[in-house]
Structure 1
Amino acid sequence: MQSTRWAQVWMTIGLLWFLLAIAFAPTNKLYQQGLVAFLWLPAMAFAWSARDRLGEVWRAQRLIYLALIGLVAWALISLLWTNVEDPSREEKRLLYIVVFLLFFPVFADARPERMIRVMQWGGLGLALSALVAIVKFYWIDGNLWWARLEGLGELAHPILGGYVIGLAAVWMVHWVPRARGLQVVWVVALALLGVFVVLCQSRGAALALLLSVLAMPIWCRDRRRRIIAVAALVLAVLAFWALQSLVVARGVSFRPQIFVASLQMIAEHPWRGLGLGADYKVFAEGQYFDHAHNLFSHIAIELGLPGLLLWCVVWFAVLREAWRARESLYGQGLIGIWLFSFLAMQFDAASLNGTPRAEWFISWLPIGLASVLAWTRAKSSACDKIPRSS
């Protein structure tokens, strides 16, 4: 049933809604309702008919899903001692995450190229949102050019907006359309995404984007990717030269001090943590910060070392699966997505179980996309078995 045309249209709308409505939806409530209608419902409705596909993913990536099951189970147990007022909300959010991850193998249906195509359109849509945001922020709202750019909708935060737009730039630079006409549009879109990241002045997003592009020739050994990497380095040097005063003005934004304080909090509750969704503040340099500004330390604060270990197993197993498929276009794109996300979550991301938001792009989206690797590697193995004619 998941292979029928109407089902694929329904799920395509769902994935595009997740990628684009975070910028274009007028309210967060509408964004969440759209995800329920276009993404969660079809994932659950077609899960049974796609059970053979889900079985293939389970057999190919058992380590990832065993660790995920362990992480969800430990998170549920931690609700016994968390300080949240309504633990049922945290349970519901965990269910959202599970269904979100279920969506990707159901939608892909053993066709990685389908996922690439929708992600390409999503990247173009986010580039359009970047253009609209630039025009609105500097021309319509009349902000000075050195003010930190804010995106649209839920991306109206310089840091989170920079992470989402930067990640879109990463998958766009890996997944180039084949048609020459679309390649012109792709170049313009990639430029808009890059300009947005620079103008939002999120140093974490800019550094993650730069390092991801510079490292790209390691797994994409072709001339075009090397040229892109060199061009990115040159542009980065020019951008730093032009914006040096803005880049260094904010120093390190207390990140080292916050990290040290976070380690102290982890040491106080190393095994159980504070519990899933616990409300906490990090005290550093005489002031309180809302979170740990680092996803790994945030998980350790909430779920203790067992939760951190399970998350690390999931996260680095995704890299292992992507690296095994590095000869494929899909695998190369996922390595880039993983690297950008890994770097980005070191600087500001600190939400693992919140409702769908910008942070999901660098936490749960790479894990969801990784499920499709089960068929990428299977197709590569099948091609290797075909005898070559002399």
Structure 2
Amino acid sequence: MGRLDGLLLGWMSIGLFVQLAGVLFNNDDSRYATQLYLLLFLPALLLLLKERLAFGLWRQWPVYFFVVLAVWVVLVGGVHPGSEKSFWHWLKVVTLLGLYLYAVARLAWQPQRFGWVLAGAVVVAALFAWLTLYYQFGVLERSLDYAVLRRQRLETMGWNGLADLQHPIVAGLYYGVFAVLLTWLFVHWRMSVGRALLLAVAMLGLVAYVAFTFSRGAWFALGAAGLLLLIMFSNRKAYGLLGLGLILLLVAAYLFWPEMQLERARGVTGRNYIWSAWIERFSSFWLWGSGAGADFHFTFPTGSFLAGKQFIHAHSLYLQFWYQYGVVGIGLFAALLLSLLWKGWQCREQPLARLGIALLVFAMVAMVSDVYAVFHRPSPYWVVFWFPVGILLGVRKPDSAAQTIRGQ
């Protein structure tokens, strides 16, 4: 590796750290965006040009599906009369996404450097999770009564605009990603007693935060991803966590059984009405969609517990994506997901591939009932969905692990 390569990779590492954790320590969206342009997208572009577009990285089926999907998104955005914003907006979005995926994939080629970036981001996320819990329940003295917690779900620290995720669902999914990352660090890295205790404290803060968001999509996604990750590693630490997790679940069920029954009684919180409306309108959009970024307008009917409330999305990424981009769009999106899972499975002996699979499963479960959009400007949803996509693009199959990209 040349000196310039090392400089650009180090520059991108800082940018990736900011992209993952910067949502927490920035209280200004424009400042966060500026940091990403200067610290992530710019060095990614420079390295991509230096490596002559890095064709060795792009020759894989998931990339082909992503490129075709991106072209379709841009075409729908530019041609469909129902699309929000212009052709150039969607071209900018997919261009930034391409640079982001390249940056993550390229850094994943250096697992040690990549691991330290992830560890740094996890430390920041755990710190802000604990600071939020302390400020909300220690300083502001928020009640721990179930009814109050359910009504005032966690979504922000509440101080100076820091760690403000703006919605409990977004907050639960965002911090849930870091809980999965922390689990991976524990089962993958060598652990001393002191390090294990620190990780346990960090995990307690992250899980408590996710729990207090009452984002059940995040709960199920975290459970599915964590279980899959531990099964894939199948070492003594993983078995120990599985046993501990089972014990804690049984204890929680015993202590909070009435609250769990109340959660079960809530069902899907009115999503059944929205999904029924989606089915009723299916014939009007199934083929070509309603346009890139188009809102799915729905008002809850009289007699429902949310009567009169209006929503602008289908409360399922899969349904929303089909609504916006039609059968071609959802078909390409499904092909991208399946190709990523298949590649991850082929590379499952590699620790990063296991992490990528677990995080992608986290996103796929979350997208059943949550996640507003994936083709949009940088946001926490990039951490939830596109980050694992980049990891899986970066892991290399055993028969090609020795190959290097042109110019390296």
Question: What's the TM-score, normalizing by structure 2?
Answer: 0.85
- Provide the rounded CA distance (Å) in 2 between the counterparts of 1:40 and 1:68: 19
Quick check: 321-330 or 146-155, which moved more? 146-155
- Equivalents in 2 of 1:347, 1:179: separation in Å? 36
Structure 2 residue corresponding to 1:155, chosen from 150, 159, 165 = 165
1:285-309 deviation per Cα after TM superposition (whole angstroms, max 9, x unaligned) = 4553221111111110000010000
Query: Which residue pairs with 2:185 in the alignment?
Result: 175
Query: Is 1:342 aligned to 2:343, yes or no?
Result: no
Distance of 2:3 and 2:253 partners within structure 1: 48
Q: Which amino acid aligns with 1:132?
A: L
Partner-residue secondary structure (3-state), 1:353: coil
Question: Where does 1:1-150 land on structure 2 (aligned, <5 Å)?
Answer: 4-51=5-52, 54-59=54-59, 61=60, 63-79=61-77, 80-84=79-83, 86-87=85-86, 88-108=88-108, 110-145=109-144, 146=146, 147=149, 148-150=153-155
Distance 2:353 2:122 in 1: 18
The answer to whether 1:320 aligns with 2:342 is yes
Report the CA distance between 1:185 and its aligned residue: 2.1
Distance 2:279 2:52 in 1: 42
Once the 2 structures are TM-superposed, how far is the Cα of residue 241 of structure 1 from its aligned partner? 4.2
CA deviation vs aligned residue, 1:325-347 (integer Å, no higher than 9, x gap): 11121122112111111111112
Query: CA shift at 1:100, angstroms?
Result: 1.3
Is 1:278 the counterpart of 2:294? The answer is: yes
Which residue pairs with 1:205 in the alignment?
A: 218
Amino acid at match of 1:155: L
User: What is the CA distance between 1:161 and its match in structure 2?
Assistant: 0.8
Assess, with a 3 A threshold, how the Cα gap between structure 1 residues 283 and 232 changes in structure 2: closer, same or farther.
Answer: same
**Residue 85 of structure 1: CA displacement?**
5.4
CA distance in 2, matches of 1:2, 1:163: 38
Q: Which residue of 2 aligns with 1:193?
A: 206
Go from structure 1 to structure 2 and tell me whether the alpha carbon gap of 1:76 and 1:164 turns closer, same or farther (over 3 Å shift).
same
Q: Which of 222, 226, 231 is matched with 2:239 structurally?
A: 226
- Find the counterpart in structure 2 of residue 366 from structure 1: 388
CA distance 1:6–1:215, change in 2 (3 Å): closer
Aligned letter for 1:268? Answer: S
SS of the equivalent of 1:178 reads: coil
Partner residue of 1:256 out of 255, 272, 276 = 272
- Whole-angstrom distance in 2 between the partners of 1:266 and 1:116: 44
> Counterpart in 2 of 1:388?
none
Assess if the C-alpha contact under 8 Å between 2:225 and 2:362 holds in 1: yes
CA deviation digits over 1:61-80, x for unaligned, max 9?
2x111111111111122121
Distance in structure 2 (CA, Å) of the matches to 1:5 and 1:380: 19
Name the counterpart of 1:310.
Answer: 332
Aligned partner of residue 346 in structure 1, secondary structure: helix
What CA distance in whole angstroms lies between the structure 2 residues aligned with 1:85 and 1:305?
19
Residues 161 and 3 of structure 1, relative CA distance in 2, 3 Å threshold: farther
User: 2:406 corresponds to which residue?
Assistant: none
SS in 1 for 2:323: helix
Q: Which residue of 2 aligns with 1:300?
A: 322
Give me the whole-angstrom Cα distance separating, in 2, the residues matched to 1:376 and 1:345. 31
How well do the aligned residues superpose, as a CA RMSD in angstroms?
2.5
Q: Distance in 2 between matches of 1:363 and 1:32?
A: 18
Q: Which 5+ residue runs of structure 1 have no aligned equivalent?
A: 382-390
**Rounded Cα–Cα distance in structure 1 between residues aligned with 2:397 and 2:51:** 14
Number of equivalences: 378
Identity %: 25
Query: Is the CA contact 1:112–1:372 (under 8 Å) kept in the aligned structure 2?
Result: no
Do the aligned partners of residues 332 and 284 (structure 1) sit closer, same or farther apart at CA in structure 2, a change above 3 Å counting? same
Q: Residue 143 of structure 2: SS of its match in structure 1?
A: coil
Provide the rounded CA distance (Å) in 2 between the counterparts of 1:204 and 1:104: 26
Go from structure 1 to structure 2 and tell me whether the alpha carbon gap of 1:164 and 1:2 turns closer, same or farther (over 3 Å shift): farther
Call closer, same or farther: CA 1:337–1:41 in 2, change over 3 Å.
same
* Residues 375, 38 of structure 1: alpha-carbon distance in 2 compared, 3 angstrom cutoff: farther
Per the alignment, in what secondary structure is the counterpart of residue 73 of structure 2?
helix
2:368 counterpart SS class: coil
Instruction: Note the alpha carbon deviations across 1:119-177, whole angstroms, 9 max, x for none.
Output: 12211211111011111222222321242222343424211111011111112212233
Instruction: Give the secondary-structure state (helix, strand or coil) at the position aligned to 1:47.
Output: helix
Q: Partner of 1:271: helix, strand, or coil?
A: coil
Q: What letter matches 1:316 in structure 2?
A: L
Structure 1: distance between partners of 2:62 and 2:388 = 12
Q: For each residue in 1:266-316, what CA deviation from the matched residue of structure 2 results, as whole angstroms up to 9, or x when unmatched?
A: 332111101111133134545532211111111100000100000111112
